[in-house]
């Protein structure tokens, strides 16, 4: 897959004809994957390339009053690229959704972007909007010379699969259901840093992580998670919270990694969140804490 960052339409130099996928794919969830499956099918049948035109950040940054959440991704940019490739993308075009781009008319978008991307066919979701006036897919179908494939709403449990729904589930700590909607495992990357080293003294050493991507974090609690270190995957129980038993006031992300020994300070590792175990609890003493950690570990080992 070739990744091409562009500032505007003049930077587009697409050689081969394409089936073009349009949208903002923060989560790259199961609903999105249906678009890519359709595009790949068409491309294979008609000897086209699958091209994706999308944005580095949420378009909402251009329209809404700023909040920190607007800068937080569900899926980190590098992992998004990996998934685009895995889903069959040949050409990935990334641009910023800024004020200049937001002023592009629907007709200009077709002329400047879609045509320059040599699109013969287009695949979009049912709720796709484009251009300054947020034109819908009917207008695209009438004014684009090729074929437009509109993918209907995808549901799970009787509800729409959406990035908003995935984000809410993660915020609630329901990472198992979030993973079900994503079709892949929600993850967090972090650099291993020095903490209080308290875990070693009670028999549960932890890797303390400083998150390095602008991705959302799940609700405070203890989770079953897998941790990838140097390409190898280990089971863990991972906690996120303020370590209230010891009077902690700072948010800590700590992974007790099973069947692993080694000095990994400074390494970047990735945590794949699998399931929720329990809330963060303030224990009366160390013995109570250790008993609970033993029980947590049994749960994590059985998943």
pLDDT tens track for 195-216: 876 666 677 889 999 999 999 9
pLDDT band of residue 248 (cuts 50, 70, 90) is low
In this predicted structure, what is the pLDDT of residue 242?
82
Residue 98 exposure: Cα atoms within 13 Å on the Cβ side: 7
Domain boundaries, given as residue ranges, for the chain = 2-160, 186-302
CA 262/CA 232 separation, integer angstroms: 13
In this predicted structure, what is the pLDDT of residue 197?
65
pLDDT reading at 246 higher than 60: no
In this predicted structure, what is the pLDDT of residue 228?
98
Selected residue with higher pLDDT from 14 and 248: 14
φ/ψ (deg, to 5) at 211: -60, 140
> Which residues is 124 bridged to in the sheet?
150
- Strand arrangement of the beta sheet that strand 147-151 belongs to: 2-5, 91-95, 49-55, 18-22, 119-125, 147-151
Across all residues in the chain, what is the average pLDDT?
94
The beta strands (E) that lie in 59-100 are given as 91-95
**Could you tell me whether strands 159-160 and 187-193 are parallel, antiparallel, or unpaired per DSSP bridges?**
unpaired
CA 255/CA 239 separation, integer angstroms: 6
Q: Which of 15, 19, 16 is nearest to 120 (CA)?
A: 19
CB under 8 Å, gap of 24 or more: what pairs does 3-7 form? 3/81, 3/92, 3/94, 4/91, 4/92, 4/93, 4/94, 5/56, 5/94, 5/95, 6/93, 6/94, 6/95, 7/95, 7/96
pLDDT per position as a tens digit, 111-150: 999 999 999 999 999 999 999 989 999 999 999 999 999 9
Helix 163-172 vs helix 175-182: crossing angle, to nearest 10: 160
pLDDT per position as a tens digit, 18-53: 999 999 999 999 999 999 999 999 999 999 999 999
CATH 2.40.30.30 corresponds to the domain 186-302: yes
Percent of the chain topping pLDDT 70: 96
Give, for 105, the enclosing helix (H) or strand (E).
none
CATH number of 2-160: 3.40.50.620
pLDDT per position as a tens digit, 149-163: 999 999 999 999 999
Percent of the chain topping pLDDT 90: 86
pTM: 0.93
Q: Which of 84-98, 145-159, 232-246 has the lowest mean pLDDT?
A: 232-246
In this predicted structure, what is the pLDDT of residue 195?
80
């Amino acid at each position: 897959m070739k990744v091409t960052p562009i500032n505007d339409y003049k930077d587009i130099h697409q050689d081969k004809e394409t089936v073009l996928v349009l949208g903002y794919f923060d989560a790259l969830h199961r609903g999105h994957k249906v678009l890519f499956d359709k595009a790949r099918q068409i491309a294979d049948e008609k000897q086209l390339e699958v091209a994706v035109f999308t944005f580095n950040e949420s378009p909402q940054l251009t329209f809404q009053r700023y909040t920190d959440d607007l800068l937080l991704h569900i899926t980190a940019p590098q992992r998004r690229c990996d998934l685009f490739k895995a889903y069959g993308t040949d050409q990935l075009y990334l641009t910023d959704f800024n004020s200049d781009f937001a002023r592009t008319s629907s007709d200009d978008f077709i002329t400047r972007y879609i045509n320059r991307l040599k699109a013969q066919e287009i695949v979009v979701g049912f709720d796709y909007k484009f251009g300054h006036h947020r034109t819908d897919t009917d207008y695209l179908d009438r004014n684009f010379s090729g074929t437009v494939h509109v993918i209907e709403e995808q549901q799970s449990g009787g509800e729409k699969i959406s990035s908003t729904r995935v984000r809410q589930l993660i915020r609630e700590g329901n990472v198992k259901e979030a993973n079900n909607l994503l079709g892949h495992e929600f993850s967090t990357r972090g650099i291993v840093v020095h903490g209080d080293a308290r875990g070693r003294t009670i028999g549960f050493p932890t890797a303390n992580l400083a998150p390095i991507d602008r991705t959302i974090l799940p609700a405070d609690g203890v989770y079953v998670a897998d941790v990838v270190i140097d390409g190898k995957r280990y089971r863990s129980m991972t906690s996120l919270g303020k370590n209230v038993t010891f009077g902690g006031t700072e948010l800590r992300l700590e992974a007790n990694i099973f069947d692993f020994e080694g000095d990994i300070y400074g390494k970047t590792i990735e945590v794949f969140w699998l399931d929720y175990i329990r809330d963060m609890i303030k224990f009366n003493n160390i013995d109570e804490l250790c008993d609970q950690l033993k029980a947590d570990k049994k749960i994590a080992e059985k998943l």
